Amino acid sequence: MITPEQKLLVQSTWAQVVPIADTAAALFYNRLFEIDPSLRALFTSDIKEQGAKLMTMIGVAVRGLDRLDEIVPAVQALGRRHVGYGVKDEHYATVASALLWTLEKGLGEAYTPPVAEAWTVTYTLLADVMKDASRQPA
């Protein structure tokens, strides 16, 4: 479970990413496709547009950390939709790696071990909800 301190770290560092959201999105997708080039085939729309959607989605999730019970249904729905896009459970670890790398690059010195841990806990929590939902009948 995520602690109040971890929530605060995620929310405060995300506030630092928001002004560089376009750059962060580009960094993320470049890194994602570098780690696993086969994932490029899952993205059929404009990648810049997809990046904007990603940044918006992360922002909603980060703001919702104080009321997880309210965002869980949306996170579950997202997990179910991802099945239709071809996302598999193993892809979540690749996304985590690309996301943490992006945060490290975007935050610079503000990316401390406690920040890394807070983001890892947060991502794992949300990814587990998505993966569990993806295995449930629609």
The dihedrals phi and psi of 100, each to the nearest 5 degrees, come to: -65, -40
Number of domains in the chain: 1
Domain that includes residue 73, residue range: 4-134
Checking if the pLDDT of 137 tops 80, the result is no
- Collect all residues with Cβ–Cβ distance below 8 Å to 35 and sequence separation of at least 6: 94, 97, 98
| CATH code of the domain containing 115 | 1.10.490.10
Q: What CA–CA distance (Å, rounded) separates 19 from 97?
A: 22
Q: What is the mean pLDDT of residues 120-133?
A: 96
Alpha-carbon dihedral angle through residues 25, 30, 35, 39, given to the nearest 10 degrees: 80
- Residue 93: HSE in the Cβ half-sphere, 13 Å Cα cutoff: 2
DSSP tag of 135: T
Find the angle CA(113)-CA(118)-CA(121) to the nearest 5 degrees.
Answer: 120
What pLDDT, in 10s, does the model give residues 29-76? Answer: 999 999 999 999 999 889 999 999 999 999 999 999 999 999 999 999
Average confidence score pLDDT of the chain: 95
What is the pLDDT, as a whole number, of residue 62?
A: 96
Listing DSSP states for 81-128 in one string gives: HHHHHT--HHHHHHHHHHHHHHHHHHHGGG--HHHHHHHHHHHHHHHH
Checking if the pLDDT of 19 tops 70, the result is yes
Checking if the pLDDT of 127 tops 70, the result is yes
